Amino acid sequence: MGQVWPSDVSARFSVFLTDEIKGGIEMIKVRPAEERGKTRRDWLDSRHTFSFGDYHDPQHMGFGTLRVINEDRVNPGGGFPTHSHRDMEIITYVLEGAVAHKDSTGTSTVIRPGDVQRMSAGTGISHSEYNASQNEPVHFLQIWIVPDEPGLVPGYEQKAFSLDKQRGSGTLVASKDGRDGSITVHQNVDVWAARLSPQEQAVFRLKPNRRAWIQLARGAGMLNGTLLRAGDGAAASQEEILEVKAVDAAEFLLFDLA
């Protein structure tokens, strides 16, 4: 029996079923990994769930306040030189390897698997991100969320989470109020990270008037009978329950959005 997250926890997600229509409204839509945008450099292989950089698709401009999900693989020693952002909440989630981060707030750190980093660009911030290793590649997700107001003071936060301690469940890694030890995000959103062993199942409840995005980071899982593989994403609204069953060992992020 999968774990049911209690109703007073803001982890309410929906079931993702491709092309399911209820009452004439499309409730669920899958974003296949192979249809994402691509950016390739000699040091970078990046996949864009939503429009980003030179990749523009008016049908995929984001999902609510969730604006960017990039899956980046950076070769040893490679990386993004110093560049600037404004008015965006930027989350880095490392799957393998390590990211060396420096920014104009004076922060200099390394982000590893299990760490979640939030950088608030606000009125303006400059930063660089490099593969921290000269020998091993790094694989990570970079996520952009539109803040609830412009002109915030730039800021940085990073925390380590042990997802394996809550296998079959989920860990709140980011929220507006920073509850339960999560990092703070300046937007009405909860971000949950979860790992499931093969055949393990979790059940999530969706709060009314919320919508959800799931990004399968690795492995494979059945979402109410629909197979998602690594790199696939899915959007949902007006659903009550999401049942996730891992086919292979799976890791994914769930975004609970207003």
Predicted confidence (pLDDT) per residue in 10-32, tens digit: 333 322 233 333 344 457 789 99
Range of the domain at 40: 3-257
Please report the pLDDT score of residue 238 as a whole number. 74
- The DSSP line for 120-183 is E-TT-EEEEEEES-SSS-EEEEEEEE--SSSSPPPEEEEEE--GGGGTTS-EEEEESS-GGGPE
Q: Can you give the pTM of this predicted structure?
A: 0.88
Amino acid at the residue 240: E
On the question of pLDDT at 45 being above 50, the answer is yes
Q: Say which CATH number the domain at 21 has.
A: 2.60.120.10
- Give strand pairing partners of 161: none
Q: What is the pLDDT of residues 156-192, one digit of tens each?
A: 999 999 988 877 778 999 999 999 999 999 999 999 9
DSSP 27-70: -EEEE-GGGSEEEE-SSEEEEESS-BTTB--TT-S-BTTEEEEE
Count of structural domains within the chain: 1
- The pLDDT value recorded for residue 7 is 27
Nearest to 256 by CA among 198, 189, 205, 202: 189
